[in-house]
């Protein structure tokens, strides 16, 4: 599965199903109809996309949306959620995280208390496991195939280097002057 095929699958998932659970079920089924090699390559592409999203500027956008703080894991899941928006929205968010203000899923959150976001919370942790689940279905070893799956993923990835630190310059989204300059629309939409 190349990058274009990965994005076509993500976008078809958005067209075919609503809500994170339905989309996940659709995606799991679509992957389970592919070869093991394609399922592994889906995870490799997903990891590449998550790595692209690993920037201080996008983390600041997540911090702002989440009320001033986003954990390491929360940011990973936010990056996966951002990928789930589709290729165009994802690319725009990487180039300009404030463009997330245009996304209907973000606009629906404005003015609502965070404790009421429930299924609308901008994270998609379970996307990180959908290829593993499809792999388990294909191999017939649903319960304990993770070691084999991750070995296959690692073999496909090769020796690529990944940064332990987000790309770009770290900044504090709680500094209103800086937030207003770098994330003007999100700062208005999600005041701290």
Average pLDDT over residues 27-53: 96
pTM of the model: 0.93
User: What range does the domain containing 35 cover?
Assistant: 3-189
Average pLDDT over residues 119-136: 94
Contact at 8 Å (CB) between 46 and 83?
yes
Domain count, the chain: 1
Res 142: pLDDT: 64
The answer on pLDDT for 159 being more than 80 is no
The lowest-confidence range among 34-48, 91-105, 155-169 is 155-169
Phi then psi for residue 43, to 5 deg, are -65, -40
pLDDT in tens, 14-34: 999 988 899 999 999 999 999
Question: Which residue pairs from 134-138 have beta carbons closer than 8 angstroms and sit at least 24 positions apart in sequence?
Answer: 134/28, 134/31, 134/32, 134/34, 134/39, 134/42, 135/36, 135/39, 135/40, 137/28, 137/32, 138/32, 138/35, 138/36, 138/39
Average pLDDT over residues 32-48: 97
Res 18: pLDDT: 87
Res 158: pLDDT: 80
Read off the pLDDT band of 161 (50, 70, 90).
low
Read off the pLDDT band of 145 (50, 70, 90).
confident
- Mean pLDDT score across all residues of the chain: 93
């Amino acid at each position: 599965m190349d990058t274009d095929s990965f994005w076509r699958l993500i976008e078809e998932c958005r067209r075919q199903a609503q809500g994170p659970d339905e989309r996940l079920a659709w995606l799991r089924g679509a992957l389970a109809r592919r070869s093991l090699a394609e399922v592994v390559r889906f995870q490799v592409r997903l990891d590449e996309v998550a790595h692209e999203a690993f920037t201080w500027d996008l983390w600041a956008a997540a911090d702002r949306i989440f009320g001033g703080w986003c954990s390491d894991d929360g940011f990973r899941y936010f990056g996966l959620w951002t990928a789930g928006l589709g290729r165009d929205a994802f690319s725009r968010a990487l180039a300009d995280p404030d463009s997330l203000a245009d996304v209907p899923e973000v606009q629906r959150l404005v003015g609502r208390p965070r404790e009421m976001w429930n299924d609308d919370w901008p994270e998609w942790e379970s996307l990180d496991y959908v290829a593993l689940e499809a792999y388990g279905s294909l191999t017939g070893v649903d319960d304990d195939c993770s070691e084999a799956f991750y070995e296959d993923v690692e073999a496909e990835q090769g020796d690529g280097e990944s940064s332990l630190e987000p790309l770009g310059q770290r900044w504090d989204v709680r500094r209103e002057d800086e937030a207003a300059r770098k994330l003007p629309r999100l700062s208005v939409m999600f005041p701290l």
